[in-house]
Structure formats: structure tokens, C-alpha cells
Amino acid sequence: MALMTGEEYIESLRRLKTRVYMFGEQVENWVDHPIIRPSINSVAMTYDLAQDPEYADLMTAKSSLTGKTINRFTHLHQSTDDLVRKVKMQRLLGQKTGACFQRCVGMDAFNAVFSTTYELDEAKGTKYHENFVKFLEMIQDEDLVVDGAMTDPKGDRGKAPHAQPDKDLFLRIVERLPDGIVVRGAKAHQTGAVNSHWHLIMPTIAMREADADYAVSFACPSDAEGLFMVYGRQSCDTRKLEDPCSVDVGNSRFGGQEALVVFDDVFIPNEYVFMAGEYEFAGMMVERFAGYHRQSYGGCKVGVGDVVIGAAALAAEYNGAEKASHIKDKLIEMTHLNETLFCCGIACSAEGHPTKAGNYQIDLLLANVCKQNVTRFPYEIVRLAEDIAGGLMVTMPSQKDFESELPAGRGGESVGEICRKYFATREDMDVEDRQKVLRLLENLCLGTAAVGYRTESMHGAGSPQAQRIMISRQGNIQGKKDLARAIAGIENR
């Protein structure tokens, strides 16, 4: 099958019987729902750019499994060049959407599960790797979107999965049958879950023997019997219900999404099972996926950061303040921080290495440094953007007020005329353009896009402490002590 277009992707979603709940109701036509559709448009961009000859080098790759041209989001990295191109592709999509485009998690899961199942089979004599390769060939051939799902609700963080009062707070195997397994539980905060054709499930933490039933990895379609999703609430989301095309939405075309994905005794055939109790390998899968996904943030967040910086610069220009030295300095600082994140993404890619399975793994230490910086720098970028934009970003009247013909002024001026009068700045500046850029900044810094930029920068791919733990493990303090001893002439006792 040829690479799908964005429109073909959208039509493919209509054929699914995915169960989606939002605002206490089941959403029958979720593909065209005004709150959900912008996130679907973001995914569609990953298809449309792959069709564009200008971007084909970044957006497509040659499959190591079939030799066919595939979307890079379904690719197994074959070199450090592949890893670098991945980061550059993610930056491009962030620039084009100003939002989360939702396919990174699946791509990162493919590469983690591929190498882990290879080593699991090598140690245990299982056939999980063969199962996974057949599954991925199907995904590549049909050009499908896969939700990589790792995060469990976790319940009481002080207790292991098997010790939870409610055993379902970590996804688990509840029944083993000759032809498959039955699973129960949920995956939380799942980016792009509703917009995916399939889900690729991984354990959420390293496991011990008592947690063997929770050491499970598998794939299942989004409309599998017993699977349903509850759509995540976002700030300012109901503005899309008022008018999906309103200036007040900020970014009316694109957006991100998260959902709670519930597995209510879902049957998984053996052919789609990639781990079923081999707890010794749960930690390997988690660590490798986390590394890939932390690398991803050096691309996608940088692309959205480019949009934030551009919007802030426009706001300054519309305010007539673009020549002020402090404005220039703030834009320089925003650019410095953003490019530092990009450097981290490129560095951990360039320092990658092959796994036993043959695909390439990033440098884990540098990937965790990348994500640790992502938990900080976007917050400063947003702070500076809000500083440049001014208070009107959060106090501006609605578009309906700007369009209102209701008389209000002493001279019979309408509410709309009053708004346009008092929010004008430079003579050559259109007031509506100022509205648009301030609403875009509100969306990026505070609104629905904050899920894909600011807040996700903190908690996506693991919250800050998760990276600090990995930095501690990978930092080789002992080796650095040896370097100091050698130069100081101290004998290693």
C-alpha cells in the first residue's frame, strides 16, 4: 500500500468503531467533533508532509524490514543519521502545527519493543520478536498511527503493582488462554490515543517476580472489544464549541489530545503479545522507550518553541516596541534556550549506537539531560513571551465583542468600534492581526496547546525526577573520580 495522504488518514478513522467518552457522554462522531478535530488535523500533517517532495527526505525512510518507502514515524532507526533526521522531522512538524502531532510515542515504542524483544527471545527462547516484526510490517505497509502506551494510573506510588488495594491500577494479565491473554487496567495521559488505529502497550516500571502479571507488552486495535477512552479536558477547550474558527481559539486548525485508555477485560491473541510475565525485561523496555521519548522532546518542543518566539516577536512589532533593547534581549534569550534544547536532541542522536537487534539507540545520558532541560527552558520561554505580549493576552474582549454592532458610545459607536478604537496601536497595524497573535500566544502559553508545550514539557516522557535518576545512573561519577585522582596523583585505594 502507498503512503496515505492526510485526507485518507482522516477517512480511515471513520471506519473504526472506537468508543470515546467526553463531558459525560459518548461521542458518536468523534472525527468531526470540534474539540477533537484539530488534534486529528495535526496527525494528518504527518501524512501530508510525507507526500511533499520538499520534505520527503525527513518525513520518509526505507524500511529495514521490507525495503519499501515508509513514513519515518513507522521506521526502525538504522543509523545515527536516522536518529538526527527524526529530531529534525519533529522540529519541522512543531513549526507547521504549533501543537502536538501525536505520533512520536508510537515511533519511540516501536524502537524500544523491537530491541527488547530481540534480547528477551535470546535469553528465554520465546518468539515475541517474530510477533513484533510481523506486526510492525503490517503497520508500515498500511501506514497506520499507533499509540505507544506506557503510563499506568499507578494508584499509591508507595506500593508495588501487586500490592495495590485495587489490582487494576496497573494494567495486568488476568487470564492466560491457549490462544492469547486477557488484560485489564488502564493507560493514562495517552497522547493521540483517540486518533490512533492501534495501541502498543508497554509496562510502566521495572518489575519484580511478584509483579510478573504486570510485565506485559502487546498490540491491539483501537476498537477492540472491551477497550474505550475518556477524552482529557484541556484549558479553554470549549472555545472550539462556541466557534471552531473563532480568533478566540488561538490555533483553530491544530491541537493535541490525551485520553484515559481503559482495557475492560480485552482479549489479545498470541500473535500480538510481545511480553507476558518476563518481568526481568520490563525495566529494559521502560528505559529504552524513555530514552527515545526524551530525545523526541529535543525536536517537537523546539519546533513549537519556534512558533512561540515568532508570535512574541510579532506581538512586540504590533505594539510598536520591536526596537526596544530589552525586547531584543528577551528574544535572544528565548532563541538561546530553544536552540540549546535542539542541541541536546541532536547530541544524544549523534552519539547513538546499535542495539543487538540492529536498530539504533540514542545516548541515554544525553537524552535524559535533554529532557531535564525541557522541564525548565520552555517555562522560561513562555514567561518571556508573556512578558513581551503584555497583559492584553489574558484580558482582551472576545471576538464577538470586536464584531458587535450593539450601540454603546455617546456618539452611537458600536461595541465593536469601541474595541477596535482602544486596542489599536500602530497606524499600519490591523487590530484583528493583533487579536490573532495574542490569542495564538494565549493558546501556546496557557490554553489547549499548553498540553503539548508547557505542561507536557514538565511531565511528558517522565517528570523531572525520573530524568535525574537516570542521569545519576548514567553519569559515571566513579569514572570522573578516577580522572581527578589520576591528575592529582592520588593512588586509588
pLDDT at 185: 98
Helix axes 80-97, 37-51, angle to 10 degrees: 130
Query: Of 46, 100, 231, 370, which one is the catalytic site residue?
Result: 100
3-state class (DSSP) for residue 42: helix
Query: Strands across the sheet with 146-149, in order?
Result: 146-149, 198-201, 216-221, 273-276
Please report whether residue 450 resides in a domain: yes
Q: State how far the alpha carbon of 169 is from the alpha carbons of 68, 152, 155, in Å.
A: 41, 7, 6
**Which amino acid type is present at position 4?**
M
E strand segments, 319-462? 353-354, 360-361
452 part of a folded domain = yes
Please tell me whether residues 225 and 86 are part of one structural domain: yes
DSSP 452: T
Q: Is residue 484 part of a domain?
A: no
DSSP 407: B
For the CA atoms of the chain, what is the radius of gyration?
A: 24
The yes-or-no answer on residue 419 being catalytic is no
Domain contains 293: yes
pTM, rounded to two decimals: 0.96
pLDDT grade, residue 455 (50/70/90)? confident
Residue range 190-211: mean pLDDT, rounded: 97
Write down the catalytic residue from 278, 287, 442, 456.
456
Question: Which one of the listed residues 47, 272, 279, 297 is annotated catalytic?
Answer: 297
Residue appearing with cell numbers 524500511 = 63
Single residue among 228, 245, 280 that ends a domain in this structure = 280
Beta partners for 258?
191
Same domain as 291, residue 265: no
State the chain's mean pLDDT as an integer: 96
Looking at residue 448, its pLDDT comes to 75
Give me the sheet containing 20-22, strands edge to edge. Answer: 25-26, 20-22, 227-231, 258-269, 180-191, 172-177
Show the CA angle centred on residue 3, arms to residues 35 and 11, nearest 5°: 35
Q: DSSP strand E in 117-242: where?
A: 146-149, 172-177, 180-191, 198-201, 216-221, 227-231
Give per-residue pLDDT as tens, 314-330: 999 999 999 999 999 99
326 flagged as catalytic: no
What 164-171 contacts at long range (C-beta under 8 Å, 24+ apart), as own/partner pairs, is 170/204, 170/211, 170/214, 171/201, 171/204, 171/214, 171/216, 171/263
User: Does residue 293 sit in the same domain as residue 276?
Assistant: no
Indicate whether 262 and 300 sit together in one domain. no
The reply to whether 405 belongs to the active site is no
Same structural domain, 324 and 272: no
- As to burial, measured by CB atoms within 10 angstroms (0-12 exposed, 13-18 middle, 19+ buried), residue 465 is exposed
Question: CA-CA distance, 338 to 303, in Å (whole number)?
Answer: 9
Final residue of a structural domain among 242, 264, 280: 280
The band of 179, judged by pLDDT with boundaries at 50, 70 and 90, is very high
User: Residues for the chain: how many in total?
Assistant: 493
Q: What is the DSSP letter of 131?
A: H
Look up 456 and say whether it is catalytic: yes
Asked, for residue 319, whether it belongs to a domain, the answer is: yes
d(CA 398, CA 420): 12
Last residue of a domain, one of 254, 280, 306: 280
Cβ contact 186:240 at 8 Å: no
Distance of alpha carbon 72 from alpha carbon 80, whole angstroms: 14
> Is 191 in the active site?
yes
> Longest C-alpha distance within the chain, in Å?
90
Helices within 446-493 (DSSP H only): 454-459, 464-474, 477-488
Asked if residue 313 and residue 253 are part of one domain, the reply reads no
Which one of the listed residues 47, 128, 300, 348 is annotated catalytic? 300
Sign of CA dihedral 36, 41, 47, 50: negative
Domain assignment of residue 345, yes or no: yes
Task: Indicate whether 431 pLDDT > 90.
Answer: yes
Which amino acid would we find at residue 472? S
Q: Which of 18, 46, 116, 191 is catalytic?
A: 191
Please write the tens of the pLDDT for every residue from 261-306.
999 999 999 999 999 999 999 999 999 999 999 999 999 999 999 9
Specify if 490 maps to a domain.
Answer: no
53 shares its domain with 156 = yes
**355 in the same domain as 272:** no
Domain residues for the domain of 312 are 287-477
Q: What is the CATH number of the domain that holds 295?
A: 1.20.140.10
Amino acid (1-letter code) at residue 402? F
Return the closest-CA partner of residue 364 out of 279, 283, 454.
Answer: 283
- Which residues, in sequence order, are CB contacts of 477 under 8 Å at separation 6+? none
Do residues 208 and 164 share a domain?
Answer: yes
pLDDT digits (tens, 9 = 90+) for 365-411: 999 999 999 999 999 999 999 999 999 999 999 999 999 999 998 99
Q: Mark out the alpha helices in 98-198 (DSSP H runs).
A: 104-124, 128-142
Identify the bridge partners of residue 407 per DSSP, sorted by sequence position.
414
328 and 250 both lie in a single domain = no
Report the distance separating Cα 473 and Cα 253, nearest Å.
Answer: 42
- Residue 493 confidence (pLDDT): 79
Residue 483 lies in a domain: no
Q: Is residue 220 annotated as part of the catalytic site, yes or no?
A: no
Is 100 an annotated catalytic residue? yes
Domain count, the chain: 2
Catalytic choice (104, 220, 344, 370): 104
The answer to the question of whether 191 is labelled as a binding residue is yes
pLDDT of residue 233: 93
Same domain for 206 and 239, yes or no, is yes
Question: Which pLDDT value is given to residue 454?
Answer: 84
Q: How far is CA 377 from CA 25, 318, 393, in A?
A: 38, 26, 21
CATH at 44: 2.40.110.10
Domain shared by 228 and 322, yes or no: no
293 catalytic residue (yes or no): yes
CB 102 within 8 A of CB 192: yes
